[in-house]
């Protein structure tokens, strides 16, 4: 039986080398799981499934919407408006939930209020 020695390949991964002829066993030693893995055991992960810390690394776009605070304020305005029957409050809440800033939402509410008068 041939003996094996540990060595590192070009990408600095630990591999087993035959002591007699220096040929690699194939695969690499996984430092995390502390076991040998075959070369094709872990397929490459495409960019579309990359780390969540790099959401647009493959050229895709990240969906942006209203901030959490805007959503809370929007739902609160909409709820209060429906509860009290004030349509302009509902309109302002809807505008905030659509991602408009506070000034645009107030303008929307004023327009609805003017239509009701």
> How confident is the model over 81-112, as pLDDT tens digits?
999 999 999 999 999 999 999 999 999 999 99
Question: How many domains does the structure of the chain reveal?
Answer: 2
Give yes or no: residues 33 and 72 share one domain: no
Domain span at residue 17? 4-40
Element (H, E) at 24: none
- 109 within some domain: yes
- Whole-structure pTM value: 0.48
Query: Which residues are paired to 6 by β-bridges?
Result: 16
Q: Report pLDDT digits (tens) over 41-62.
A: 556 666 665 555 555 555 556 6
Whether 52 maps to a domain, the answer reads no
62: in domain: no
Classify 21 as helix, strand or coil: coil
Note the pLDDT of residue 17.
53
* Cα dihedral 37, 43, 48, 54 in deg (nearest 10): 20
Is the same domain home to 35 and 72? no
Asked, for residue 49, whether it belongs to a domain, the answer is no
In a domain, 60, yes or no: no
Q: How confident is the model at residue 15 (pLDDT cuts 50, 70, 90)?
A: low
CB 103 within 8 A of CB 69: no
Query: Domain for residue 63, yes or no?
Result: no
Predicted pLDDT at 37:
74
Residues in contact with 18: Cβ distance below 8 Å, sequence separation at least 6, in sequence order: 2, 3, 4, 24, 25
- The mean pLDDT of the chain is 75
């Amino acid at each position: 039986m041939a003996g094996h020695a540990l060595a590192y390949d070009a990408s600095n991964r630990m591999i087993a080398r035959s002591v007699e002829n220096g040929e690699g066993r194939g695969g690499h030693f996984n430092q995390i799981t502390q076991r040998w893995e075959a070369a094709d055991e872990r397929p490459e992960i495409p960019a579309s499934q990359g780390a969540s810390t790099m959401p647009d690394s493959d050229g895709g776009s990240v969906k942006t919407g209203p901030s959490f605070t805007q959503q809370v304020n929007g739902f609160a305005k909409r709820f209060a408006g429906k509860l009290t029957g004030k349509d302009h409050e509902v309109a302002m809440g809807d505008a905030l939930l659509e991602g408009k800033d506070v000034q645009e939402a107030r303008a929307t509410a004023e327009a609805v209020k003017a239509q009701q008068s």
